[in-house]
C-alpha cells in the first residue's frame, strides 16, 4: 500500500513525509496510542490530490487527522444524531 497522506512543511508546503494513514483501530502506526503524532504542527493532504486544501494539524494532536476527519463525517441521517 502506498502513501495515502502527504505531510507538508507549513512554511514551504514542500513534502517532508508520507504515510498510509491510520491503523484499523484509527491509531497512528508511527507512535504509541496517546503520543503526539509525527505530523503534528504540519500540513497534511491526500496523496494524488494536488489541488486539495491542506489541513493544518494541531501541534498537540494525538489522534491521526484522518481518523478525526472520518469521525466527524457522520451522515446527517445517522441514528447517532437522531438520539
pLDDT in tens, 15-62: 999 999 999 999 999 999 999 999 999 999 988 886 888 999 999 999
Model pTM above 0.85 = no
> Is 83 within a domain?
no
> Is 21 within a domain?
yes
> Is 19 within a domain?
yes
> Is 65 within a domain?
yes
Residue 37: all three cell numbers together: 503524532
Residue 33: all three cell numbers together: 496510542
CA distance linking residue 63 with residue 36, whole number of Å: 8
The string of DSSP letters for 5-53 reads EEEE-TTT--EEEEE----TTS--TTS-TTSPPTTTTSEEEETT-TTSP
> Is 80 within a domain?
no
The count of structural domains within the chain is: 1
Q: Which domain holds residue 25?
A: 1-74
Please, which pLDDT band fits residue 68 given cuts at 50, 70 and 90?
Answer: confident
Amino acid at each position: 500500500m502506498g502513501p495515502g497522506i502527504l505531510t507538508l512543511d507549513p512554511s514551504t508546503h514542500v513534502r517532508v513525509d508520507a504515510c498510509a494513514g491510520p491503523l484499523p483501530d484509527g491509531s497512528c502506526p508511527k507512535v504509541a496510542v496517546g503520543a503526539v503524532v509525527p505530523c503534528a504542527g504540519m500540513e497534511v493532504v491526500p496523496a494524488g490530490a494536488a489541488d486539495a486544501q491542506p489541513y493544518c494539524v494541531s501541534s498537540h494532536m494525538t489522534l491521526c487527522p484522518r481518523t478525526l476527519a472520518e469521525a466527524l463525517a457522520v451522515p446527517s441521517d445517522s441514528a447517532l444524531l437522531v438520539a
